[in-house]
């Protein structure tokens, strides 16, 4: 949780005699002319025709061939996007907690990355970046250091919101719903890998997968951007310069390469709004423990229901739910995994009433349940299975 150009030949631009803005310089084999802009009269040569597409700082002249106009190579937008987004990315560094003092204690530091979300000093990062971090300092892209005054963490989403005393910071722009993302879409990861001196490093890749359930309470975005220790909390950015997600973890094992995961922007905004409003995340809860089916646990497709393994609250017992019951749907939404429930419950608040489609003692029944407040559902089986090969960054 990495970033070509062909040879050229000297030549002359030709056009029937007229006064136009054209380019001087060199002509590529494709007929595209590069160089400085000047105003002048251009003569005809060998009957070739050229089209002056645009005059200005970087005009382009194209050569016609058999009625077909060649297309100029588009400028790579990546450098401009990195330049535009980097002022919204910070480094976070502090002393690793729980360590005793010593002669080299001043080097016992740990760091991560963060994203400015409000001009007045609010920054989103990962909860694991802030966990146990002492005397933490935020460093912005211009090299200014700020002490952290407030920290609000949510370990289940692995997100934390921190506050510094600053004004006129540049907040990042977050993308809308992850529903519009596509596998293969080009993305950029920005952060502080390995060394704090490498702040605002950028790597480029593509989205490798969507809706991944990887030891997390919510679905994640998978990408092949190079993500290393210290990148945690930094942004995954699209070609519009929008933050698609917060880089959080990757698989790290022998033979495993470029498998990073990011928390989607819509989940980030949900958690961030709750932390800003309450200082905590107030999630609705079914008041039961649920177990996923074997196909879901191992990643096979299937529509098997969730199984109730334990009833925890009076509201759930009042609704008639008992251990062994099977849960098929909530308010008409089919749920087959714990992440399905957590994702759905971003739309609800504690105290809401939901309709459950369940199977009890062999009968399909509908139950009405008042949602309580509690932690999200997390699969213990998946956690144990993936811990060995997955690491936060």
Are 289 and 312 spatial neighbours (Cβ–Cβ below 8 Å)?
yes
The pair of structure tokens assigned to 212 is 């991944």
Which pLDDT band holds residue 178 (cuts at 50, 70, 90)?
Answer: confident
Question: Which ranges of the chain does DSSP label H, i.e. alpha helix?
Answer: 78-85, 127-130, 265-278, 294-298, 314-318, 338-344, 380-386
Among 28-32, 199-203, 283-287, 361-365, name the one with the lowest average pLDDT: 28-32
Which pLDDT band holds residue 215 (cuts at 50, 70, 90)?
Answer: confident
Distance CA 342, CA 156 (A): 11
Among 47-56, 95-104, 222-231, 256-265, name the one with the lowest average pLDDT: 47-56
Distance CA 11, CA 56 (A): 21
Distances (CA, A) of 325 to 10, 137, 328, 367, 388: 78, 50, 10, 11, 32
Distance CA 12, CA 141 (A): 45
pLDDT in tens, 46-93: 333 334 344 444 444 444 445 555 566 678 899 999 999 999 999 999
Among 94-103, 123-132, 238-247, 303-312, name the one with the lowest average pLDDT: 94-103
Are 271 and 40 spatial neighbours (Cβ–Cβ below 8 Å)?
no
Pairing mode of beta strands 288-291, 260-264: unpaired
Among 49-53, 200-204, 339-343, 389-393, name the one with the lowest average pLDDT: 49-53
Which pLDDT band holds residue 382 (cuts at 50, 70, 90)?
Answer: very low
Which pLDDT band holds residue 351 (cuts at 50, 70, 90)?
Answer: very high
3-class secondary structure, 316: helix
Percent of the chain with pLDDT over 90: 61
What is the per-residue pLDDT for 305? 96
What is the per-residue pLDDT for 98? 67
Residues known to be catalytic? 128, 158, 232
What would the mean pLDDT of 102-127 be, rounded to a whole number?
A: 88
What is the per-residue pLDDT for 104? 60
Distance CA 304, CA 327 (A): 9
Q: What is the number of other CB atoms lying within 10 angstroms of the CB of residue 37?
A: 15
Which pLDDT band holds residue 255 (cuts at 50, 70, 90)?
Answer: confident
pLDDT in tens, 280-338: 999 999 999 999 999 998 888 889 999 999 999 999 999 999 999 999 999 999 999 99
Which pLDDT band holds residue 31 (cuts at 50, 70, 90)?
Answer: very low
What would the mean pLDDT of 7-35 be, rounded to a whole number?
A: 36
Distance CA 221, CA 211 (A): 6
Q: Is the pLDDT of residue 272 over 50?
A: yes
Among 39-48, 173-182, 238-247, 275-284, name the one with the lowest average pLDDT: 39-48
Q: How many CA atoms lie within 13 A of 115 on its CB side?
A: 31
pLDDT in tens, 359-380: 999 999 999 999 999 999 886 5
């Amino acid at each position: 949780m990495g970033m070509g150009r062909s040879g050229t030949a000297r030549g002359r631009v030709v056009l029937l005699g007229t006064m136009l803005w054209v380019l001087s310089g060199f002509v590529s084999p494709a007929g595209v002319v590069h160089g400085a802009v000047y105003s002048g009269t251009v003569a005809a040569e060998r009957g070739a025709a050229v089209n002056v597409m645009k005059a200005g700082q970087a005009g382009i002249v194209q050569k016609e061939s058999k009625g077909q106009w060649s297309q100029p190579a588009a400028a790579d937008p990546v450098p401009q996007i990195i330049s535009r987004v980097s002022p919204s990315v910070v480094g976070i560094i502090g002393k690793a907690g729980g360590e005793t003092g010593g002669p080299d204690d001043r080097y016992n530091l740990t760091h991560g990355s963060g994203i400015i979300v409000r001009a007045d000093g609010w920054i989103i990062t990962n909860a694991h970046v802030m966990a146990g971090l002492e005397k933490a300092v935020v460093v912005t892209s211009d090299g200014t250091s700020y002490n952290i005054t407030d920290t609000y963490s949510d370990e289940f989403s692995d997100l934390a919101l921190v506050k510094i005393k600053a004004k006129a910071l540049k907040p990042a722009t977050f993308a809308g719903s992850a529903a519009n993302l596509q596998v293969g879409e080009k993305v950029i990861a920005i952060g502080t890998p390995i060394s704090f001196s490498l702040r605002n490093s950028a790597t480029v890749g593509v989205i490798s997968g969507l809706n991944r359930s990887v030891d997390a309470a919510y679905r994640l975005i998978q990408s092949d951007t190079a993500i290393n220790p210290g990148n945690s909390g930094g942004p995954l950015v699209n070609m519009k310069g929008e933050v698609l997600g917060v880089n959080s973890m990757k698989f790290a094992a022998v033979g495993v390469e470029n498998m990073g995961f990011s928390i989607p922007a819509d989940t980030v905004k949900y958690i961030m709004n709750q932390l800003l409003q309450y200082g905590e995340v107030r999630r609705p809860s079914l008041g039961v423990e649920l177990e996923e089916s074997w196909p879901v646990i191992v990643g096979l497709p299937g529509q098997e229901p969730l199984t109730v393994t334990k009833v925890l609250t009076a509201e759930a017992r009042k609704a008639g739910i008992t251990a062994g019951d099977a849960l098929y749907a909530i308010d008409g939404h089919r749920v087959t995994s714990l992440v399905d429930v957590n994702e759905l419950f971003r739309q609800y608040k504690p105290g809401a009433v939901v309709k459950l489609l369940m199977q009890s003692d062999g009968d399909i029944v509908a139950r009405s349940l008042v949602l309580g407040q509690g932690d999200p559902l997390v699969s213990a089986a998946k956690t144990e299975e993936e811990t060995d090969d997955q690491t936060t960054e």
